[in-house]
Structure 1
Amino acid sequence: MKLRNIILTTVLLATFSACEDMFEPAKENNRGVEEMLSDPNYAVGLLGYGYAMLPYDNSSVSDVATDDAVTNDKESGYSKMALGSWASNNNPMEQWQARKAAIQYLNTFLGIADQVSWAENEVTNRMFIDKLSGEAYALRALNYYYLLMAHGGWTADGQLLGVPILLEPEDNNSDFNQPRASFSACVEQVFTDLNKAVDLLPVDYENIKSDAEVPARYKEIGAKMGNYNLVFGTYQRGRITARIAEAIKAQVALLAASPAYREASGVTSETAANYAATVLNRIGGVAGLDPTGNTWYMNTSDLDNLGSGEVPAEILWRGNKSNGTADWDIGIQLEKNNFPPTLYGSGRINPTQNLVDAFPMANGYPVADKANGGYSENAPYENRDPRLAKYILFNGATFKEKAIITGTYPDAENKQDNNLNQLSTSTRTGYYLRKLLREDCNANPNSLNAKFHIPVRIRYTEIFLAYAEAANDAWGPMGKGSNAYSAYDVVKAIRARGGVGTDNGDAYLESIKGDKEKMTQLIRNERRIELCFENKRFWDIRRWQMPLAETAKGMRIDKVGESLNYTVIDVENRNYKEYMNYGPIPYGEMLKWSNLQQNKGW
């Protein structure tokens, strides 16, 4: 590849600092590669693009296209997708363009990383090459992971394909008409990149206190405490670490070992479980489950007092915290969008009855098991899993010291704009979002009060659930493989943390701990509950080969005399086809490149 012929538009002037001010926008600069070799600030901007283009959403968006939620926003592309507009030329879930652009920048960076003069000191320079290259490998792997989720799939001739694998920067002389590599080859390349990242990066960015603590590989070339801390110390927090790379590896393995891909991915559930265990063993396994991790968004003291790059116990990787009030800022954006209308919100995300029914009774039994659980259709929110009240606002729930009435009560005392279908910003399902929101925010436009929020990229609970899913599939509910804990151990700890089955020893869990299929369903249900509104459900449904087209339901509550009548209603009939378990290659790409194969059905 003739790097000298590449002219790059570097949109970020980045420094070696991390987290809160890691990459700030700068004026656009057009520079050739030769100039970047002598100017590390501009060279690192290539890597900065990889961070600026991270594939994470800062708010819940895709859940409204699943059985977990609907939205009252008639312009939502995700809602339109769920109602039948999803096509290869109209795809809100597309990752093709953004991921490939990021990969191009990262490939270019990897091509010059060992030629740039990062520091005058030779030892410091070597350490910077290793660290920055490790970050680039991990970021490239992350981008390929999201490409596989969005665009990997089976073709009409029975092949499981991923995407074209590009490991060198493209230029005007490149052959852009590249075929899709097999899904298994893509996964193997992702693992290769992540293994390189793990080898080059520290587990965490921490300052060492003496020369004796310098890792052997750098001690051998003369590194001292000072230059090691400059490169790998706390100042770098917020960037990708070996710990984060291991977590991404666990996510990729779970995807590949899932029913939608396992036939030809080359990855087994045993491998996926062991990759997740690598991450969990660093925090002591099940004993490391954060006791308040399921309400991390409500742990205001932790959020408000986080130092630069620090993470609470539940969070493995996060973005920059903010308490700004601008429309694009996360400081109060979630609250303005999702508070009920009486609290100056737009009530955008409306949880479904489908999701509410997924929450078990407090004693751990499913709501469908009325004999053991005690569910009452006349009092549907009593004696329920405590997480229900923490994640969803239902009729009569108290929020910001006010009762939220979602029913259709005719009396003046209870009539609210929060009532079912009262306004364009009212709930369509009888429920409002509670999860992710800070109750101490004020969305009143005349007296906005924003609070610190953090974009969460990876939670430990997700990795625990990944382990449980893969371990159960590999070894059954009680099997441990070569690890110290089982799927049963993980599920029991997660449910106990949520307050489920604490009075009866979680009798339901105990009754199914010998049944692999029932444990599979329970693990999937726990994942649905614990990760709801975190943009996981859409991808989970597809990789489990479950139907996307389940009708979204709600609850209509009428008052007759002094009694409340509860009626389950259909809210949205979803229009998905079976082939949509695998996303399309973009229509425009199919027109341009003859070597690309489309996934079946698109």
Structure 2
Amino acid sequence: MKHILSIFMLLALLATGCTKNYLNITPDGRTTLDDIFKDEKRTEAYLNRVYGQMPSYFWKYGFFDFLAPFSDEAYAYSGAVMGWSAGVLNSGGNPLHTHQERGKGAYHYGTFWAGIRDANMFLENVATANIPSAGNRARFRGEAQMLRAFYFWELIKEYGPMPIVTAPFTNDFDYTSLKRPTFQECVDFIVKECDEVIANDNIPVRITIEAERGRFTKAVAYAVKSQALLYNASPLWNSGNDKSKWEAASLAAQSAINALTTQGYTLVDNYGDYFLSKTDISSSPRDKETIYEIFEPQIDPVFSIINSIPSKPGMFKVGATPTQELVDSYDMQATGEPIITGYQDADHTQPILNPASGYNPAQPYEGRDPRFYATVWYNGAVYDNIGGSPHIMETYVGGTDQLLKAPIGWAFTRTGYYLRKFIDPRLQSGQPEDTRFKKYRLAELYLNLAEAENEAHGPTNIAREAVRKIRARVNMPDFPANLSQQQFQERVRKERRVELAFEEHRFWDVRRWKILNQTDKLVTGMEIIKQPDNSFTYSRFVTERRNAWSDKFLILPIPIKETAIIPDFNLNQNPGW
């Protein structure tokens, strides 16, 4: 944290004044902090600076890498992912950060602290800033408060509990006074901040004016609060399985859903099309599900698509390809039953089929959950508009879009699948240019509720109704009525995986559930051989064995250059690092 704390002190000097004029200036070299907060437009510009610390998400974790291949959702042939899978993560280097090529804020530890710093500086000055409208002042303050909570939540989700800092550091600040709080204390702070934003009458529930796109709302506060309480109740931070934590998470999710649906939030009708465009901004938008989305502009126009298939003209990088484990998670639509109940072997090549599902291993891609077809390109799928004509996917050995087991180039799948989600096959470019990453959406709140309610009270009607909402959207049957608490847990965890695939949840979910050693040792694919009679045979195989699954990988290491800054021995490093 050394350079971050140095910036804290520098900005504190700027705010309090200094005898040397060359120090009493803001980073542009011309305007003092006093000048900024004497002007409403400049004050608002400083708030934009607080927003500007938000790092890149979506497909910018490497060379067009999602977070998904850093989990068991996908495989990707890239330096960042291969380094992660090899277990090279340590306190001196993190592939998630050091290989990020096309985004901003890649160094998350510093980025989140910088966001907290800027929010604190703004909150320190907004009360006396020249803002004629009391409503604007209250809204600006609420947004900065929510940004601080957001950055702090993202920080502790990744690195564990951190000192709660609510004011700019002064030049004589005693850093020995900083202590590492508990995760509970950190979450309590975040919840308090969110509750104050929710109570702020000047913060809207939804943005309705295009010029305000990207600003935080009460809906964001509900989403962050729900997620923080859910994580706090999970095994990673609730080793004693304190039911009161699950109850708090359940109540927060219920409150969020009630508040937002009362204000018009609802699940969109078409799951697949939902991810192909940005939210429309109006008082009555078509997209009533999105709570907050982040724009990640294309930097290189050659790559106007995140992932593609090699037969698409001009493309040579396949990107993150879904794993067989992800494909196995999609139920059969007619019965609503899982296709498998587990694996007979540690390599996941011998699935335990569920006879009640209606799954036919000779026709593995027929009759599946509609979200499968909206997420995965598979052998036999129809991809529109390749050179102006529909293209039938051929992922079998020797096919146009064939599987290549050996790491030769970037053009072909190594799992037997390609990513369909976020891709619009009707467009020649594949990905709409204004696609935005949906950081928070209403569906997550329903899933948060289903999980927390089940853990607190079992599969009650509240838990079952929350899942029913999600599955009904895609015409999937309800869960069976006679599920035990453990069976419901297994089903709802799988439901999260399916509904939120490639949306940066799986990476964190397996950590908070403390099942990393069950999920991340390897990933598999499907090798398909076309027979002379045009039928196909299917054979599972291990795509990659990984070495980033032990308990120390549950919480990321604090960068080594930061560990000596705070003397509290408990903050020097996370367990195992």
TM-score (norm 1): 0.79
Partner of 1:217: none
1: CA distance, partners of 2:256 / 2:486: 26
Residue type matched to 2:356 in 1? N
**Structure 1 residues 365 and 264, CA gap change in structure 2 (3 angstroms):** closer
Distance 1:600 1:305, change over 3 A: closer
Distance 1:426 1:151, change over 3 A: same
Match of 1:397 in 2: 381
- Distance across 2 between alignment mates of 1:305 and 1:46: 26
Residues in 2 aligned to 1:87 and 1:449: alpha-carbon distance in whole angstroms: 35
Which residue number in structure 1 is paired with residue 221 of structure 2? 245
For the 8 Å contact 1:340–1:432, the answer to whether it is kept is yes
- Is 1:378 aligned to residue 350 of structure 2? no
Equivalent position of 1:313 in the other structure: 288
- Counterpart pick for 1:295 among 272, 275, 280: 272
Matched, 1:137 2:138: no
Return the alpha-carbon distance in structure 1 between the equivalents of residues 89 and 214 of structure 2. 36
Match of 2:423 among 412, 430, 437: 437
Q: Is 1:72–2:77 an aligned residue pair?
A: yes
Q: For residues 76-129 of structure 1, what are the alpha-carbon distances to aligned partners after superposition, in whole Å with 9 as ceiling and x for unaligned?
A: x2341122111122122663110101111110100000111123xxxx2x2222
Q: Secondary structure at the match of 2:339?
A: coil
Q: How much has 1:578 moved relative to structure 2?
A: 1.9
- Cα distance between partner residues in 1 of 2:529 and 2:466: 41
Once residues 600 and 206 of structure 1 are traced to their aligned partners in structure 2, the CA distance between those partners, rounded to angstroms, is 42
> For the Cα contact (< 8 Å) 2:383–2:391, is it kept in 1?
yes
User: 3-state SS of the aligned residue for 1:427?
Assistant: coil
Distance verdict in 2 for CA 1:463–1:170, change over 3 Å: same
Q: Which residue type is aligned with residue 16 of structure 2?
A: R
Determine the structure 2 residue equivalent to 1:477: 459
Deviation at 1:176, TM superposition (A): 3.7
| Residue 416 of structure 1: aligned partner | 400
Distance 1:8 1:280, change over 3 A: farther
CA distance in 1, matches of 2:322, 2:336: 21
Distance (Å, rounded) in 2 between the aligned partners of 1:561 and 1:8: 79
2:412 to 422, 426, 433: 426
Select 1:148's aligned residue among 129, 144, 156: 156
Structure 2 counterpart of 1:510: 480
Cα distance change on mapping 1:384 and 1:271 into 2, 3 Å:
same
Equivalent residues of 2:397, 2:403 under 8 A apart? yes
Does residue 280 of structure 1 match 2:218?
A: no
d(CA) in 2 for partners of 1:87, 1:279: 38
Deviation of residue 146 (structure 1)?
A: 0.6
Tell me which of 485, 488, 494 is aligned to 1:519: 488
CA displacement, residues 426-474 of structure 1 (integer Å, 9 cap, x when unaligned): 101000000111223323xxxx985431231211101110111111111
Cα distance in structure 2, aligned partners of 1:376 and 1:185: 50
Asked if the contact 1:9–1:30 (Cα under 8 Å) also holds between the matched residues in 2, the reply is yes
1:216 counterpart residue number: none
Give the whole-Å Cα distance in 2 for the aligned partners of 1:8 and 1:565. 72
Q: Does 1:108 align with 2:125?
A: no
In structure 1, how many angstroms separate the alpha carbons of the residues matched to 2:489 and 2:73? 19
Of 255, 274, 286, the residue aligned with 2:231 is: 255
Whole-Å Cα distance in 2 between the matches of residues 376 and 528 of structure 1? 22
For the structure 1 residues 10 and 318, does the alpha-carbon distance in structure 2 shift closer, same or farther, using more than 3 Å as the test?
farther
Aligned mate of 2:515, from 546, 549, 564: 546
Q: Contact between 2:207 and 2:215, CA under 8 Å: does it hold in 1?
A: no
1:593, distance to aligned residue in structure 2 (A): 3.6
Asked whether the 8 Å contact 2:276–2:431 carries over to 1, the reply is: no
Q: CA deviation at 1:386?
A: 1.8
Match of 1:412 in 2: none
**Cα separation, partners in 2 of 1:5 and 1:262, compared to 1, 3 Å:** farther
In the superposition, the TM-score normalised over structure 2's length comes to 0.82
SS at match of 2:541: strand
In structure 2, distance between residues paired with 1:429 and 1:310: 38
1:582 to 555, 572, 577: 555
More moved, 235-244 vs 46-55: 235-244
CA contact (8 A) 2:338 2:357 kept: yes
- In the TM superposition, residue 579 of structure 1 has moved relative to its aligned partner by 2.0
SS of match in other structure, 1:47? helix
Find out whether 1:487 has 2:470 as its counterpart: no
Question: Is residue 459 of structure 1 aligned with residue 472 of structure 2?
Answer: no
Letter in 2 for 1:110: L
Match status 1:40 vs 2:40: yes
> Which segment is superposed worse, 58-67 or 524-533?
58-67
Which structure 2 residues correspond to residues 329-368 of structure 1 after superposition, within 5 A? 336-343=305-312, 344-345=314-315, 346-362=317-333, 363-368=335-340
**Separation in 2 of the partners of 1:165 and 1:449?**
40
Residue 271 of structure 1 aligns with an amino acid whose one-letter code is A
Whole-Å Cα distance in 2 between the matches of residues 170 and 264 of structure 1? Answer: 36
Question: One-letter code of the match for 1:279?
Answer: A
Q: CA 1:431/1:475 → structure 2, altered by over 3 Å: closer, same or farther?
A: same
SS at match of 1:341: coil
Give the direction of change, closer, same or farther, for the CA distance of 1:190–1:356 in structure 2 (3 Å limit): same
Q: CA deviation at 1:524?
A: 0.5
- Once the two structures are superposed, residues 3-38 of structure 1 have per-residue CA deviations (whole angstroms, 9 ceiling, x without a partner) of 323868767xxxxxxxxxxxxxxxx45533222231
Q: How does 1:555-594 map to 2 (within 5 A)?
A: 555-562=526-533, 563-576=535-548, 577-594=550-567
The question of whether the paired residues in 1 share the 8 Å contact of 2:268 and 2:288 is answered with: no
Tell me how far apart the structure 1 counterparts of residues 528 and 441 of structure 2 sit (CA, whole Å). Answer: 36
Question: Contact 2:73–2:323 at 8 Å: present in 1 too?
Answer: yes
Distance across 2 between alignment mates of 1:237 and 1:427: 37
Aligned to 2:246: 269
For residues 306 and 196 of structure 1, do their structure 2 counterparts lie closer, same or farther at Cα, with a shift above 3 Å needed?
closer
Asked if structure 2 preserves the Cα contact closer than 8 Å seen for 1:491 and 1:523, the reply is yes
Task: Give the Cα separation in 2 of the matches to 1:55 and 1:555.
Answer: 35
Once the two structures are TM-superposed, the CA of residue 566 in structure 1 deviates from its matched residue by 0.6
Q: Distance in 1 between matches of 2:338 and 2:425?
A: 29
Count of residue pairs the alignment pairs up: 515
Letter aligned with residue 385 of structure 1: D
Match of 1:118 among 96, 117, 131: 131
Counterpart pick for 2:135 among 120, 127, 132: 127
Indicate if the aligned counterparts of 2:264 and 2:288 stay in contact, CA closer than 8 A. Answer: no
- Rate the CA distance shift 1:305–1:110 in 2: closer, same or farther, 3 A: closer
Which string of whole-angstrom CA distances, capped at 9 and with x for unpartnered residues, describes residues 378-422 of structure 1? 21111221211110001111111211111103xxxxx32544357
Cα offset for 1:42?
A: 2.6
Q: Deviations over 1:558-580 (max 9, x none)?
A: 12322311110101101022221
User: 1:325 Cα shift?
Assistant: 6.1
Distance change >3 Å, CA 417–CA 384, structure 1 → 2 = closer
Asked whether the 8 Å contact 1:293–1:314 carries over to 2, the reply is no
Partner deviation per Cα, 1:31-69 (whole Å, 9 max, x = no partner) = 332222312333333321221122451436211011110
Aligned in 2, Cα 1:115/1:291: closer, same or farther, shift over 3 Å?
Answer: closer
**Hey, what does 1:204 align to over in structure 2?**
205
Between stretches 37-46 and 77-86, larger displacement belongs to 37-46
Q: Is the 8 A contact 2:58 2:67 kept in 1?
A: no
In the alignment, which residue of structure 1 is the partner of 2:343?
none
State the Cα deviation string for residues 521-545 of structure 1 (Å, max 9, x = none). Answer: 1111000001110111110000011
Q: Deviations over 1:476-522 (max 9, x none)?
A: 1125xxxxxx1111112222222323xxxx4xx22544x11100111
Q: How much identity, in percent, do the aligned residues show?
A: 27
Q: Secondary structure at the match of 2:528?
A: strand
Structure 1 stretch 585-594 or stretch 83-92: which is displaced more?
585-594
Aligned partners of 2:210 and 2:281 also within 8 Å: no
